Amino acid sequence: MAEERFVEHTRDGDIHILRIANPPVNTLRTGVRAGLQEGIAAALREGARAIVLIGDGRMFSAGAEMTEFNKPRQPPSLPEVFDAIETSKVPVVAAIHGSALGGGLELALACHARVAAPTAQVGLPEVKRGFVPGAGGTQRLPRLIGGEAALKIIVPGEPVPAAEALRLGIIDAVLEGPLEGAAVAWARENAGRSFTLARKREDRIKGADLAAFDALAASLLKRSRGQESPKGCAAAVRAALTHSFEDGLNVERETFQKLVAGEQSLALRHIFFGEREASRIPGMPADTQPLPVKKAVVIGAGTMGGGIAMCFANFGIPVTVVEQNAEALERGLKKCEANWERTVKSGRLSAEDYAKRRAMLSGTTDWNAVAEADLVIEAVFEEMGVKKEVFAKLDKLARPGVVLASNTSTLDIDQIASATQRPELVLGMHFFSPANVMRLLEIVRGSATSHEAIATAMDVGKRIGKVNVVVGNCDGFVGNRMTGKRFPQMERLLLEGALPQDIDRAMEAYGMAMGPCATGDLAGLDIGAAVRKARGQVAPIADAIVAAGRYGQKTGKGWYVYDEKRQRHPDPEVERIILETAEKMQVRRRKIEDAEILERLLLPMVNEGARILEEGIAVRAVDIDVIFTSGFGWPAWRGGPMFWADRMGLKAVRDKLAHYAEVTGDPNLKPAALIETLADQGGSFAAMGAKRAA
Ligand code: NAI
């Protein structure tokens, strides 16, 4: 069957218009590429004076169709389409609105000229999917704007707004008014001009200062420890400065092919699609509408309440924090201000935008403010009694129909909901610290929570820039429940031979933003100790550390000792405590390899993740991975814990779990039933279907 075409060809006098119509984001699937190639040929046959390429709907084009990556490629390839453009006798003008990203921008770069709407943005985000631009982006962009400017765009992969793109020379004009008409007029006016194709330009790369380029590359690459694609991007851009266009394209192509087939790109694409997948909630009727939220109220202006309020203010949603007394309120608001001021000082926020954000935030000790809320988020002390009291009060004060959310990190949402007359509108909105920075939002569904309430939380989460994952109601929900399970192995590893710095080194070498010991010091070791005590659990080493007054960063020492700059250093006292405890317990210490440390800390999490899937607490395995990459400093290029397990193979995972369960006597490591089943069937977490978050 002939492949369908997704390009519309219209004419405005002798200016021909090719409109890419592959909703929603105009990816350059086969039918688009073929349509463009044929459209250009037809326009030339019909005597066009100029050709305008434009996108239908939301944007110009979001780039290549990544789902085609795993299939045999159908002709024409993008370079073949570009060839048709570059050999055209009449100018081809890309008219960009919305976004031109990845292959979308590469298409535009192959054109004779580029014009854009003022709100458009362009970029090459390939690095974030684990590869490099693969259709000439690394060769044409430096020829247009210079090597260093191109490096600053391609290595971080962040989009560039139209005005900046114009200043740099990526685009030729920013056009006001409806874009198609303006672009046609521009093309008509400029059709007689002689354009130099990007591939032919030499002026911006000739005599480039390679030492300066390399220094810039080194400083940009510092931010992406362990990740391959930024290095590939830098090398490909460098080739534009040292090679001919054709040879540079070959360097780019080889780098692309190597990276796209690699493990890191697989992981990054798994997370990219996973974040989108996570917004699909099984069982939610398609016509579910979120309730409108124009104003939010946050209860409690502590660590979390303040950060949550900032999220709303940052995205232009008016928010009021309610505190129990004037001092706590002032302290909370001051902290928000100090946070914003730091961002202004670092140059990442203008004074004007700070003023706008600050104006969105207000505070009060008067609970009547709750009556104005379209959404209430509670972030008071983590105690069921307090939460219930607060929710009973909120239920009376909030308008009927308003969603009441709790930021609790462990407590039972159903019990909290039982304090109200509207359990269907009660749910968890679990932010992660610092709430204004971390992208993850666990949306916790209680047994009575309605679809509408979930849709409302998801809509709000999206508006404030969060990655939403809907989870079921259980102790610790998904992320904290899983990380909690690695603790017994951490204690065992310390006893058997590792030191805190060994554990953190192994985890950080894997790519984690921070190892578990350093993380514990940041959160406060006394908190975990209190939880253990309440549960009647003992951890001889961790308990001895806390008993020595080492609560973590807040006391200047914990697993480490901290200097005035809050830099951590290994502490001989910790080693002494560990050695003494091991001796007392008659454990013979040995050298433990990093690979063993990694396995013993990740396997218990995977095992718990499997139980979470069995119970339907998480809808699908990739949701768990998204939780870790957006809320727990797990690098996206590693793909998350369930991805890690799938890549190892569930049979190996089962065998290793069983082995460690036996040698360490940790009952928690007994392979979960789901792992047993999948291992027997040769299955994987990724291949399982979605379940409702219970
Ligand atoms: P916090 O102690 O910093 O702040 C709690 C604030 O609530 C205090 O300012 C307090 O004055 C206020 N408050 C207490 N009772 C109140 C009442 N009846 N009315 C109005 N205000 C009241 O605590 P934090 O860390 O902000 O935690 C708040 C909630 O967020 C807890 O449920 C916690 O489990 C959860 N959470 C904490 C995270 C963290 O990393 N700290 C992460 C995610 C959730």
In terms of C-beta distances under 8 Å and separation of at least 24 residues, what long-range contacts does 555-563 make, across chains too?
A: 558/517, 558/520, 558/521, 558/525, 559/500, 559/517, 559/518, 559/520, 559/521, 559/525, 560/500, 560/501, 560/517, 560/518, 560/521, 562/521
Ligand 1 neighbour 406 (Cβ under 6 A): no
For 238-275, b/e burial (b = at least 16 CB within 10 A) is bbbbeeebeebbebbbebbeebbebebbbbbbbbbebb
Q: Where in the chain is the domain with CATH 1.10.1040.50?
A: 498-584, 594-693
Q: Which CATH number fits domain 7-261: 3.40.50.720, 3.90.226.10, 3.10.350.10, 3.30.70.1560?
A: 3.90.226.10
SS3 443: strand
Q: Whose CA is nearest to atom 44 of ligand 1?
A: 409
The kind and range of the H/E element at 260 are: helix 245-260
Q: Using an 8 Å Cβ cutoff, are 627 and 440 in contact? A: yes
Amino acid letter, 569: H
Q: Which CATH superfamily is domain 298-477 in?
A: NAD(P)-binding Rossmann-like Domain (3.40.50.720)
Query: In the annotation, is 106 catalytic?
Result: yes
One of 4, 38, 46, 126 is an active-site residue; which one? 126
Contacts for 266 with CB less than 8 Å, ≥ 6 apart:
130, 639
Is residue 381 lining ligand 1, measured as CB closer than 6 Å? yes
* pLDDT tens-digit series, residues 373-411: 999 999 999 999 999 999 999 999 999 999 999 999 999
Q: Are residues 467 and 407 in contact, defined by beta-carbon separation less than 8 angstroms? A: no
**Residue 97 backbone phi and psi in degrees, to 5:** -130, 160
- Residue 348 CA to residue 350 CA, distance in Å, equals 7
Q: Is 0.85 surpassed by the pTM of this model?
A: yes
User: Residue 2 — very low, low, confident or very high, per pLDDT cuts 50/70/90?
Assistant: low
Ligand 1: which atom is nearest the Cα of residue 306?
A: 26
Which residues are CB-contacts of 2 (< 8 A; sequence separation ≥ 6)? none
CA distance 241 to 252: 13
Which of 409, 475, 526, 527 to mutate for ligand 1's pocket (most ligand atoms within 8 Å of CB)? 409
Q: Residue 507 region, left (φ>0) first, then alpha (ψ -120 to 50), else beta?
A: alpha
Nearest alpha carbon to residue 672 among 624, 626, 617, 613: 613
Ligand 1, closest atom to CA 331?
Answer: 9
Pair 291, 456: CB distance under 8 Å: yes
Q: Each residue of 616-665: pLDDT tens digit?
A: 999 999 999 999 999 999 999 999 999 999 999 999 999 999 999 999 98
Kindly state the average pLDDT of the residues 213-242.
96
Instruction: Count CB atoms within 10 A of the CB of residue 225.
Output: 12
Is 342's pLDDT higher than 60?
yes
| Distance of CA 435 from the midpoint of ligand 1 (Å) | 12
Contacts of 112 (CB under 8 A, 6+ apart): 85, 88, 91, 92, 93, 195, 197
pLDDT digits (tens, 9 = 90+) for 260-319: 999 999 999 999 999 999 999 999 999 999 999 999 999 999 999 999 999 999 999 999
Rounded to an integer, what distance in angstroms lies between the CA atom of residue 618 and that of residue 606?
13
- How many other C-beta atoms lie within 10 A of the C-beta of residue 656? 19
Give the helix ranges, DSSP H, for 18-123: 30-45, 78-86, 103-110
pLDDT of residue 69: 83
Q: What is the pLDDT of residues 535-565, one digit of tens each?
A: 898 999 999 999 999 999 999 999 999 999 9
Q: DSSP state, 196?
A: P
Asked whether 479 lines ligand 1 (CB < 6 A), one says no
Q: Which amino acid is at 688?
A: M
Beta strands in 535-627 (DSSP E): 561-562, 568-569
In CATH terms, the fold of domain 594-693 is N-(1-d-carboxylethyl)-l-norvaline Dehydrogenase; domain 2 (1.10.1040)
C-alpha–C-alpha distance, residues 197 and 206, integer Å = 16
Residue 467's DSSP bridge partners are 440
Residue intervals in the chain for CATH 3.40.50.720: 298-477
Question: In this structure, what DSSP letter does residue 369 have?
Answer: G
Statement: residue 1 has pLDDT above 70: no
Q: Does domain 498-584 have CATH number 3.90.320.10?
A: no
Residue 255 has pLDDT above 80, yes or no: yes
User: CA torsion 323→326→331→332, rounded to 10°?
Assistant: 20
